[in-house]
Amino acid sequence: MRAVVYDTYGPPDVLRIEDVARPEPKEGEIRVKVHAVAVTRGDCATRDANRNSGPAISLLSRAISGLSRPKQRILGSEFSGTVDAIGPGVVDFKPGDEVFGSTGFRFGAYAQYLVAPESARITTKPSNLSFEEAAAITDGGFYALIPLRAANVKPGARVLVYGASGAIGTAGVQLAKNYGADVTAVTETKNVELVRSLGADRVIDYTTDDFTRNSKTYDVIFDAVGKLQFGRVQGSLNEHGRFLPTDGLGNFVRALTMSRFEDKKVVFQLPPRITKDDAVLLKELVEAGKFKAIVDRTYPLERVVEAHRYVETERKVGNVVLVL
């Protein structure tokens, strides 16, 4: 089968297409013929060993992925496709089922076929979505759902989503609204109307307004793009407010070391706790018309390098998807 592989950490050019052996499902596993796979911020960070996050995070990344070279040669985790074979003991899926989900840190989805346990974060695809749209559900959906749930967002809570037009941000706006929150979204000028269409109660254009200086305060500030530090947003949090970062060693350390007696908290869940039930929940929200996965661009598998370069511009709106 054809797959995108890499054997050394580095820029997008380290990726190449190669013929590799097709995986065979073992007991309790399914094999999926992949139709579409999202290109995520996590894929890009893993590919270059998080070198832009500093030496400490880069070393941690290599400790997980392989110190000198990648242990898993095939990236990609957020996918959609069709079950084409099942291993002994599989009861939840059958050949022909259209599915979507995530392989997580197992990766392996930049390929014509992947194998995963039936217990993984995989469920049947909403019938009203294309494969490209379905592949875009879980990256933003999971990584917005987990912190918002950890913050225990209640109806009426004032939530600010920073970076509201990316994969995680567009999901964060919709999921916060599903919790009944009053949502303020921060994005750039060209994406204001999109974010408003996703349910944001108000939108701040960061090119003309710095939310940390306008005297407004929030119960939850969700940084969907990993650009903020607690010190910058602390004054914009209400009493007992929660800051939800998605990146930053300083934020992670702060979350670990903050006293339980401190009023305002950093909530940083690592590793993220994501289950099959979360995939089912997102599917139900999609089918109920309460969640929409946004696809910015699609690329054929052969243009994976170009897709990675575009994701690294940090200008994508929603998701970038490879089509097989």
Rounded-to-10 torsion of CA 174, 179, 183, 188: -20
Q: If you average pLDDT over every residue of the chain, what do you get?
A: 93
Name the nearest CA neighbour of 11 among 57, 36, 39, 44. Answer: 44
Tokens 């934020």, residue? Answer: 251
Q: At residue 277, does pLDDT exceed 80?
A: yes
Angle at CA of residue 127, ends 124 and 129, nearest 5°: 100
CA 273, CA 275: separation in Å to the nearest integer?
A: 7
Look up residue 180 and give its DSSP letter.
Answer: T
Q: At residue 248, does pLDDT exceed 90?
A: no
What residue ranges do the domains of the chain occupy? 2-137+293-323, 139-266
CATH hierarchy code of domain 2-137+293-323: 3.90.180.10
pLDDT of residue 260: 64
pLDDT of residue 178: 97
Per-residue pLDDT tens for 205-246? 999 999 999 989 999 999 999 889 989 999 999 999 999 988
User: Mean pLDDT over residues 102-120, rounded?
Assistant: 97
What's the count of helices (H) and strands (E) in the chain, helices before strands? 10, 15
The 3-state DSSP class for residue 98 equals strand
How does strand 182-187 pair with strand 158-162?
Answer: parallel
Per-residue pLDDT tens for 14-71? 999 999 999 999 999 999 999 999 999 999 999 999 888 778 778 878 888 888 899 9
H-assigned helices in the chain: 41-47, 55-65, 131-135, 138-150, 167-178, 192-197, 230-233, 249-257, 276-287, 304-312
Domains 2-137+293-323 and 139-266 fall in the same CATH topology? no
pLDDT of residue 64: 83
pLDDT of residue 189: 95
User: Mean pLDDT over residues 188-206, rounded?
Assistant: 97
CATH topology for 139-266? Rossmann fold (3.40.50)
pLDDT of residue 50: 86
More confident residue, 97 or 128: 97
The 3-state DSSP class for residue 219 equals strand
pLDDT of residue 221: 97
Residue 252: which pLDDT band, with cuts at 50, 70 and 90?
low
